[in-house]
């Protein structure tokens, strides 16, 4: 039987653990953890993501400092806003919702965020800490994948892993986290030749390319572990829309030993790791909680 890696259920469990910790720690510190999400413009998908994150903060007991700004907000204003949030003692995590309007330099803004408040784990300092194997805030989606594998008893050490996608958001940090867990890792991308031959040799395949049903049964060896990071919106014959992954789930799931569904797999874990990073930053910044830093995700 194929093992379904249920991210929705695991996310609920982890959020419940975070809720209990925040409830216990808030009286000690005198305030709850705080997350500031900056959204520029009126992208409908971004607005939905931000609402989802705010609701998750409410469930866990994290204070939200949302900043929803017009699409023509100047770069200089955003840099000043991030500087204010860096200095705000109520704020433990800062997230810039991507994408931003074309006139905004998102790299500059991401680099302006205090690395110790970098809830998305995308600052060069945190990526450098990942490369060096040092503690730090990790990229949310890859961290969510690692937690999903760990919680389901999947031993990564010694396995051959192929990551499809090389973005700084998922592909590169995903490869580094798998390598840190002692997998042998290959990163594939749009210019990789004979991809199916490569993926058929893998024990673990992680797809993060954003192409619906790209991975078929021909790409997967029997017994492989398949992690689908892709979220693609496609139109049905009835003129409605539904979400699908990069993996042809119906074709691949009978072959795989374990697989993530879309939706309900990696997506819920990404939001949960954002909450985790905010609470972890809170612990790191509060001397009263120094002894608690190793208890998250335990």
Q: Is 231 annotated as a binding residue?
A: yes
53 is catalytic: yes
Residue of 120, 203, 246, 248 with catalytic role: 120
In 10 A of CB 69, how many CB atoms? 16
Cα separation, 132 vs 138, in Å, equals: 12
- Those residues with Cβ within 8 angstroms of residue 45's Cβ, 6 or more apart along the chain or in another chain: none
Cα separation, 253 vs 251, in Å, equals: 6
Type and span of the H or E element at 35: strand 34-40
Closest to 11 (Cα-Cα) out of 296, 295, 275: 275
Q: Is 201 annotated as a binding residue?
A: no
Backbone angles phi, psi at 285, to 5 degrees: -90, -15
Whether the bond into 99 is cis, omega within 30 of 0: yes
CA-derived radius of gyration, the chain? 19
Q: Is 165 annotated as a binding residue?
A: yes
Q: Is 285 annotated as a binding residue?
A: no
Residue of 15, 21, 53, 248 with catalytic role: 53
Closest to 279 (Cα-Cα) out of 55, 29, 109: 29
Tokens representing 160? 């051959």
Closest to 168 (Cα-Cα) out of 118, 109, 107, 228: 107
Closest to 273 (Cα-Cα) out of 122, 68, 103: 122
218 is catalytic: no
In 10 A of CB 180, how many CB atoms? 15
17 is catalytic: no
**What ranges make up the beta strands (E) of 139-218?**
160-164, 184-188, 204-207
> Active-site positions?
53, 97, 120
- Annotated binding-site members: 165-167, 231
- Annotated binding-site members for NADP(+): 165-167, 231
């Amino acid at each position: 039987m194929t093992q379904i890696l249920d991210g929705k259920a695991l996310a609920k469990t982890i959020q419940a653990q975070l809720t209990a910790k925040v409830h216990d720690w808030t009286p000690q510190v005198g305030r709850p953890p705080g997350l500031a999400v900056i959204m520029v413009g009126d992208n409908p998908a971004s607005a939905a993501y931000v609402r989802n994150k705010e609701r998750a903060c409410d469930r866990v007991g994290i204070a939200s400092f949302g900043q929803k700004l017009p699409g023509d907000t100047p770069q200089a204003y955003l840099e000043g806003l991030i500087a204010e949030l860096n200095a705000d003692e109520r704020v433990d995590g800062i997230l810039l919702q991507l994408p931003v309007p074309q006139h905004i330099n998102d790299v500059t803004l991401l680099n302006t965020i205090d690395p110790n408040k970098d809830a998305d784990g995308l600052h060069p300092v945190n990526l450098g800490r990942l490369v060096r194997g040092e503690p730090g805030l990790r990229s949310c989606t890859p961290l969510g994948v690692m937690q999903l594998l760990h919680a389901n008893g999947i031993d990564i050490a010694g396995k051959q892993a192929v990551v499809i996608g090389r973005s700084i958001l998922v592909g590169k940090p995903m490869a580094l986290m798998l390598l840190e867990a002692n997998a042998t890792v290959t990163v594939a991308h749009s210019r990789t030749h004979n991809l199916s031959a490569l993926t058929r040799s893998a024990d673990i395949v992680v797809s993060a390319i954003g192409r619906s049903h790209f991975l078929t049964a021909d790409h997967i060896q029997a017994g492989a572990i398949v992690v689908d990071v892709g979220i693609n919106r496609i139109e049905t014959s009835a003129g409605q829309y539904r979400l699908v992954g990069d993996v042809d789930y119906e074709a691949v799931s009978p072959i795989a030993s374990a697989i993530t569904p879309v939706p309900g797999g990696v997506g819920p874990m990404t939001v949960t790791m954002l909450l985790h990073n905010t609470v972890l930053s809170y612990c790191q910044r509060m001397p009263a909680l120094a002894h608690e830093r190793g208890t998250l995700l335990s």
